Amino acid sequence: MKAVLIRQFSEDPRTHHVEEVAEPVVGSDDILIAVKAASLNFPDLLVMSGKYQILPERPFTPGKDAAGIVEAVGPNVRTFKQGDHVVAQVENGCFASRLSVPQSSATKIPTEMPFADAAAMGLVYQTAYFALTDRGNFRNGETVLISGAAGGVGLAAVQIAKALGAKVLAGVTSEAQAKAVHQSGADEVIDLSAANLPESTREQVHRATNGKGADVFLDPVGGDVFDACIRSLARRGRAVIIGFAAGKIPVIKGSYLLLKNISVSGMQWTDYPTYSPELVAEAQAKLNELYLQGLLRPHITQVFALESFADAAARLTSRG
């Protein structure tokens, strides 16, 4: 079968190629998926460049989200059958014609959901959902501030927060990003490119919340953006660290947390399927429900053939 094969870690997508590889082995508790769509997101670039927190042995096939049709099941599988439409989230392996995964790593999707939508609603939507509901303890009617809101996790968070009853403040750095977050349902845009970032961010958030501040802050960016946005939290506000796309890991001052009773937590999606796979299934069911209600619509920039993987990765690398 065909698959992207990473032989050496590299930041240049053109060094990675689609090759002919052996068909995957289907274990007793596994299902074999004919992959119809796989999503490409920022964490995939980190894996391929050797900068992700979990790195596989080389050579390997990247890709963390795949949607497709079950072709075969292992003898111990009871939850899936041949022909089921499924989405799977794994550490790596999705950029291939076929994928074998433990049954616990996959969930069924409605047959009316396009495979591209299902794949695009994998890791990023699961991450945004758990960050908001489990780590951020969001309650209906609260205000949610999202940095990097035009990115994959950011747009997912905007849509999910809005669907669950939040007032959404979307942090962006350009007019094009502002348009994208408005289309996804954001109530207000917070300009994170303004001069004097800490003060300007707090002024914008306070203006949008009548001086209260945001109840929940979801941050996939880190760096100076995190430092600025945490100052915009309301008393008893909750900040959730999702990633460090800016490249700088924030240093948090404990005294500031104490003065406003602020809590900060981390969100690492891999922890959920490893230790609480039942929560992943519940989250996917909720996301499917919101999708069928028309409340979630993943933003797919472009669809590429597997053979054009390098073109897709190059576009993402250049933030196209």
Stretch 304-320: mean pLDDT, rounded? 91
Residue 28 has pLDDT above 90, yes or no: yes
Output the pLDDT for position 43: 85
Q: Residue 216: pLDDT above 80?
A: yes
pLDDT in tens, 45-67: 999 999 887 889 999 999 999 99
Please give the residue that has the higher pLDDT: either 200 or 194.
200
Q: What is the DSSP string of 249-273?
A: -----HHHHHHHT-EEEE--TTHHH
pLDDT at 239: 98
How high is the pLDDT of residue 52? 84
- Asked if the model's pLDDT at residue 177 lies above 90, the reply is yes
Please state, in angstroms and as integers, the Cα–Cα distance from residue 288 to each residue in 94, 169, 281, following that order: 20, 24, 10
133 and 248, same domain (yes or no): yes
Q: Are strands 85-89 and 65-73 parallel, antiparallel or unpaired?
A: antiparallel
Helix/strand/coil for 233: strand
Verify that 135 and 95 share a domain, yes or no.
Answer: no
What CATH number should be reported for the domain holding residue 41? 3.90.180.10
pLDDT at 248: 85
- pTM metric for this prediction: 0.90
- Does residue 319 register a pLDDT over 80? no
Edge-to-edge order in the sheet of strand 30-38: 98-102, 30-38, 65-73, 85-89, 106-108
One domain for residues 91 and 132: no
Under 8 Å CB-to-CB from 312, ≥6 apart: which residues?
A: 40, 302, 304
Query: For 250-302, how does the pLDDT look when each residue is reduced to its tens digit (9 = 90+)?
Result: 889 888 899 999 999 999 988 898 899 889 989 999 999 999 999 999 988 89
- Per-residue model confidence (pLDDT) at position 41: 87
Answer yes or no: is 238 within a domain: yes
Whether the CB-CB separation of 229 and 198 falls below 8 Å is answered with: no
Structural domain count of the chain: 2
pLDDT tier at 22 (50, 70, 90 boundaries)?
Answer: very high
State the chain's mean pLDDT as an integer: 94
Residue 283, domain member (yes or no)? no
280 neighbors 89 (Cβ within 8 angstroms): yes
Residue 167: inside a domain, yes or no?
Answer: yes
Q: Which domain does 227 fall in, by range? A: 123-266
In terms of Cβ atoms closer than 10 Å to its own Cβ (0-12, 13-18, 19+), residue 8 is exposed
